[in-house]
Amino acid sequence: MEFMGYERPDGSVGIRNHVAVISSGRCGNELAAIIADAVPGAVPVLHTHPCVRLGDDNTIV
C-alpha cells in the first residue's frame, strides 16, 4: 500500500491542511457556515452573488 500524503517540516505527515465548505450562492451561505462550524478545522467560503435560476431551472420551479 502506498501513502499518498506528504511530510511536514516538523517531520509529521499529513493528507490535508484545510477543509473548505464552499457555498454555491448567497442562499447557501448560512448552511455552509453551519456545516463548517460542525467540522473541526473547516472554513466556510461564502458567496457574495445572489442565487440565480436561469432558463430550464425557472421552468422546473
Give per-residue pLDDT as tens, 15-47.
877 899 999 888 999 999 999 999 998 999 998
Say what the pLDDT of residue 18 is.
84
pLDDT score recorded for residue 39? 94
pLDDT at residue 60 greater than cutoff 80: no
Say whether pLDDT at 61 is over 80. Answer: no
CA 18 to each of CA 2, 24, 42, 45: distance values in angstroms, whole numbers, following the listed order: 22, 19, 7, 12
In-domain check, residue 7: no
Residue 1 lies in a domain: no
pLDDT at residue number 54: 67
The separation between CA 1 and the C-alpha centre of its own chain, rounded to angstroms, equals 29
- Domains of the chain: total: 1
Within-domain flag for 3:
no
Q: Does some domain include residue 40? A: yes
Residue type, 47: H
29 within domain boundaries: yes
In a domain, residue 23? The reply is yes
Which residue did the predictor score with more confidence, 33 or 59? 33
